[in-house]
Amino acid sequence: MAGPSIEEARRLSGYRMPAEWARHAATYLAWPHNLDTWPGKFAPIPGIFARMAAAIAAFEPVRILVNDDQMASAARRLIERAPAPDAGGARLDRIEFAVVPTNDAWIRDYGPIFVNRAPAAGGDGAAQIALDWRFNSWGEKYGRHDLDDLVPRRLAERHGCAAIEPGIVLEGGSIDVNGAGAVLTTESCLLNPNRNPHLGRAEIEEYLRVYLGVATVLWLGDGIAGDDTDGHIDDLARFVAADAIVTVVERDPADANFRALDDNLKRLRSMRDRAGRPFRIETLPMPPALHYDGARLPASYANFYIANGGVIMPTFDCAADAEAIATLARLFPGRRVVGVPAIDLVWGLGAVHCLTQQHPAPGRA
């Protein structure tokens, strides 16, 4: 199968995916309800979600997808009681519920990815387009995902936004952009034959260039232990500025993550932007290894979410939390870093960034 057609490339010319720190219209969450995602440990999850929703709502509107009105009522009651960063309590005026049924809560991976028309693009194209990538449950690993795969089009219709289907499998957690022509991703995920076996590296790069509006594709290698996504970038390395990347590092050579993270750090230090300039590379620690029911969990401080005026970060009740909070506060001056307890969340094999999806404000590409 060939890459995008010339017609499709022309249609997307002038659009690009904004960096996560660009202004948001809102954040999407999908309220948790799938007991199989947190087997034997679902009970605390809705309360943690409520705390995460309240934390984000301190900075921007939150749009929560629910299966029905009864779920919305239960969620609202939990959010009302959730601790919030502001002394005044949860900003319920910024919480909106939408009945859009889902199979699971990981909206980062199946939700729409919005691209904005650059002001210099000219013409009379729409200010914003929603990309509706195919979702196949991380390589057909789990059960039904038909409702999740419909979410991008449902949300595009709800907000009056045109939707385009690139026609290939791609999850939002597998990519990270700097808004200035570069995208970070991993070989272990995007080149995995359980996603797009008919596409090679060059063809996948062309899809990313055309649909995300990037010029440079930066490849890391493997993901962390316990990551069932085959190595999503949002557990490894993230842009924190157009010219800066923060990556997690493992300091214990005996740890299962040491070799992969050391290799990724070396790759990052050799990377260049489209003008040939090196990126500034910053580091975050890894939390101590977490296990549940004999399984290594993919706990990582890289799974933070950037909101308007804030950074929402997973915490793991350990000494490394303070170092990670201080690092992100330094890297995001002017934004408040808020921790969300993630030890129970990560039993579902994901954390804060995996459970959020930004809707960038139109016209700020």
- 330: Cβ contacts below 8 Å, ≥ 6 apart: none
Q: How far apart are CA 363 and CA 153, in angstroms?
A: 20
Catalytic residue, from 161, 189, 318, 354: name it: 354
CA separation (Å) from 36 to 39, 104, 196, 220? Answer: 5, 9, 26, 31
CA separation (Å) from 40 to 48, 71, 107, 292, 347? Answer: 16, 21, 22, 11, 10
Rg (CA), the chain: 19
**Residue whose tokens read 């190595």:** 231
By C-alpha distance, which of 132, 163, 151, 133 is closest to 65?
151
Query: What are the phi and psi torsion angles at 224 (to 5°)?
Result: -90, 160
- Give yes or no for a contact between 135 and 103, defined as CB atoms under 8 angstroms apart: no
Other Cβ atoms closer than 10 A to 44: 14
Active site residue 189: no
Catalytic positions are 354
